[in-house]
Amino acid sequence: MASERDMFGLIGPSYLTDIDWNNFHHKRSIAASLVKGVYILEQDRQEKRQGPQALAPPWWQHFNFKLVQLLIDDHDLSYFGAIYEFNVTFPCLDYTKQRPPRYVIAFRGTITKHGNRAQDLKLDLHCIINNLRDSRRFKIGFELTQNLISQVGQGNVWLAGHSLGSSIALLIGRHMVQYTGTYLETYLFNPPFISAPIEMIKNEKVKFGLRIAKSVVKAGLAKAAAKYGDGQSIAQEYNDPFIVLSLWTPYLFINPSDLICSEYFGYFEHREKMEKIGAGKIEKLATKHSIGKFVSSAMGIDSEATHLIPSAYLSTNCCSSDEVHGINQWWKLDLEFKNKLYQYK
């Protein structure tokens, strides 16, 4: 029997009947719904729901999208992503005032049910040890994104993902900037931050002290490993991947009670606090690196801390919720947000 949590008419943002593509709440809700559609596509496949029995189509059809391609994992044949196309002939939309995306590439997160558990948890491990770029899901997604951009241009494509899927979308977005100079509008829901959850500590002084110690350690390790210092050339600084990425501002959606993603809030806030106390140079170096990356390098493993990004538009869900890591929270009407743009300088 189908779960009520799969049915768009019961738990989806069906109230969005007059969509304003300039409204951030509408765009966030639609991006989250398209990601939810990927989850339901995979559940439809697992439970062999087809035709009228399929529950996935309303998650994109309600917003005038159509499914044009499934992204299939080579190992377990599961659906991990989808490409949706907007109906550009939609008669009620004034394209001189609103600009919906032509395409949205969406990625689901981990499913722990039988049939998905083994491969999804394996990819979670890849995410933790910072080598998700070696996964087939990333390579498939990146190749399809490149092909789509070459056909329709960067302003016509969004990326969206939840949890593990947001890590894939984030990695694709980074690579598009670094290797093709393409900046994609990107919506990341509950993106994993691979670090100890210092943000969960309630004592602000203890929390700040731990973050300072961590920054000093990371800056010291970075200087020792890369020989950063006064001798660094302007050319090296200009080609620094972190600086190259600084103009890309993906949208991050964080729940402060979610251990998986809450550290993003502290990561960006700590950077500003270090500037205020005159320790900006230390944090400028520390913010580019993770302890895990240094440990991996010491073990001879090539890794990249792709969860560390220079700039972002951070939306924090200030409402208490039973599903702190769930995708369903991001289209509710009663959400209370703290929104802030963090721009790396």
Mean pLDDT of 113-125: 90
Domain count, the chain: 1
Residue 339, beta-bridge partner list: 315
pLDDT-derived band of residue 294, with 50, 70 and 90 as boundaries? low
Do 191 and 173 touch, CB atoms closer than 8 A? no
CATH number reported for the structural domain that contains residue 68 in this entry = 3.40.50
pLDDT-derived band of residue 157, with 50, 70 and 90 as boundaries? very high
Distance CA 342, CA 284 (A): 14
Distance CA 243, CA 232 (A): 14
Q: Beta-carbon neighbour count of residue 313 at 10 Å?
A: 17
Domain that holds residue 124: 4-342
pLDDT-derived band of residue 256, with 50, 70 and 90 as boundaries? very high
Distance CA 186, CA 176 (A): 12
Q: What six digits make up the tokens of 272?
A: 């500003």
Write out pLDDT tens, residues 203-225.
Answer: 888 887 888 888 888 777 777 76
Determine the residue type at 196.
A
Indicate the pairing of strand 312-317 with strand 103-107. unpaired
Do 293 and 304 touch, CB atoms closer than 8 A? yes
Tell me, what DSSP letter sits at residue 106? Answer: E
> What does the chain come to in residues?
345
The secondary structure of the chain in percent helix, strand, coil, rounded to multiples of 5, reads: 45, 15, 40
pLDDT-derived band of residue 169, with 50, 70 and 90 as boundaries? very high
Torsion, CA 328, CA 334, CA 336, CA 339, rounded to 10: 60
Determine the residue type at 243.
I
pTM value is 0.91
Query: Three-class SS of residue 100?
Result: coil
